[in-house]
Each structure stands twice: as structure tokens, then as C-alpha cells.
Amino acid sequence: MVKKTIAIDGPAGAGKSTVARLVAKRLGYLYIDTGAMYRALTLLVMNQSIPVTNEEEITALAKKSDIKLINNNGRVFVYCNGINVTEKIRQPEVSHYVSQVASIPGVRKRLVELQRAMTGSGRVVMDGRDIATTVLPHADCKFFLTASVAERARRRYRELIEKGFKITEEEIEADIRHRDVMDSQRKVSPLVCAPDAIVIDSTNLTVTEVVDTIIGYCERMR
Ligand code: CDP
């Protein structure tokens, strides 16, 4: 494998993080979950009771916050100002507000800087919404992972129920639709498929099939 940077973008719940983590594991690469960083900042905004419309205060908070991803034994732990927030950032309330926080230009500027700094000399798999277009426009392999809204909602429902959250599939589908619109329509680096990205529709594929497809493409692009 001579490819060093792999970018995986796509809409909410398309399975990016599961797939990206496994691709990184198989290749021995570092996995960077950029969505987790937007989620960590959103949790901080909520904990400090800052209205999500207060762009100035949220930008200032982003600048002074220490958001870190720590890879340990194939798992990624998210730390915000030294506190482990790995579980808390997955709660539906964070999902509800994250797209608004992520639409703030100052927030994106700061988190993109942190994300680029994390890539070091390469050998990374990074997933998000703007990786192939903005964060790593020169990535060696670019993928856009998608699935039908119903399938994405079903997957996220199973995930959250397993974690003990009380939520209905309808609520999740509404949240996913809302985030798809917010993420695609924001002014700064919206969710779009990069012209040079390979599109993978995972609606009828298993996780292993998607992982194999991605690794297969990366090997062929050598
Ligand atoms: O896992 P899920 O698909 O629910 O989303 P995520 O990857 O955890 O990202 C949460 C939110 O962060 C997204 O809905 C976007 O609003 C924002 N995000 C972003 O704007 N840019 C990124 N590179 C990654 C996430």
C-alpha cells in the first residue's frame, strides 16, 4: 500500500465511522473521526448553556478548547479539555444541535486546523463531511459513502437502542433528514461529493463488503 491518506465523506448514519475504523485497523493506519470533534464541541456548548445561535461565543470556545482523539487498541476515545466524552457525544441531543454548531465558520476553521495537524506524515483514514473537498483535498483515495434515509435511520436506531437510549426510529429519521439538509446547505464547506470521489451506496451491503470495496479500490489505485 503506497497510499497514505484515505478520505471518507457522506451523510449522517451512512456507516462512515464503522467502516473507516475497520479500514484503518486492517491497514494499520490512524483513524480520525472528525464528526466526533464537532460533537465534542457541541457537548461543551450545551454544558455551558451557550445558545447555539451565539456564533461569536462558540467560536471563542472552539479556539480555547482542547479536543483530542486518542486511538487505543482499535478504539477511539474523545477527550475535551481533558475529560473523556466518548459516550456522551453520541446522545441524541448532541446529534440534534451539532449541525448548527458545525455551520459556524470560526468553528470549522479551528477544527480543520486541528484535523490537518493530526494527519502528520500520512497513513490516515479520516471521515467526515468535507474531508475530500476541504480538509485533505489532495487525499490519495476519496470515497463518498451513502445509503437510503430509511436504512441509515434503521442502523442508527439499532446502535442507540443497544446503548440504552430511549428514542423511536421516526425521531432518528427526522434528525437524519434535518442534518442532511443543514450539512448540505451550509455556506462553509458543505457536504458534497467531491468530483474525484468514488461513490459507494451501502444500502444493500454489509460492513465487510464496504470495507473490502474501499481497500480494493485503494490497492488498485496504487
Ligand atoms: O455519525 P454521524 O453520521 O451521525 O455524524 P458525525 O460524523 O458524528 O458528525 C456529526 C455532525 O458533525 C454532522 O452532522 C455535521 O454537522 C458535522 N460534521 C461536519 O460538519 N464536518 C465534518 N467533517 C464532520 C462532521
Going by alpha carbons, the residue nearest to atom 7 of ligand 1 is 35
Strands 67-72 and 124-128: unpaired
Q: Of ligand 1's atoms, which has the minimum distance to the CA of residue 38?
A: 12
How far, in Å, CA of 67 to CA of 212, rounded? 31
- Mutation choice for ligand 1 from 113, 129, 180, 184, CB with most ligand atoms inside 8 A: 129
In the prediction, which pLDDT does 75 show? 86
Going by alpha carbons, the residue nearest to atom 12 of ligand 1 is 35
Q: Of ligand 1's atoms, which has the minimum distance to the CA of residue 10?
A: 3
Can you say whether the dihedral through the CA atoms of 15, 25, 4, 205 is positive or negative? Answer: negative
Q: What is the pLDDT of residues 177-220, one digit of tens each?
A: 999 999 999 999 999 999 999 999 999 999 999 999 999 999 88
The pTM score is: 0.95
With 90 as the cut, is the pLDDT of residue 5 above it?
yes
CA-nearest of 147, 110, 180, 116 to 18 is: 147
Q: What is the pLDDT of residues 16-71, one digit of tens each?
A: 999 999 999 999 999 999 999 999 999 999 999 999 999 999 999 999 999 999 98
CA-nearest of 145, 36, 153 to 91 is: 36
Going by alpha carbons, the residue nearest to atom 23 of ligand 1 is 128
- Mutation choice for ligand 1 from 38, 42, 110, CB with most ligand atoms inside 8 A: 38
Domains of the chain: 5-203 (3.40.50.300)
Q: What is the pLDDT of residues 111-129, one digit of tens each?
A: 999 999 999 888 999 999 9
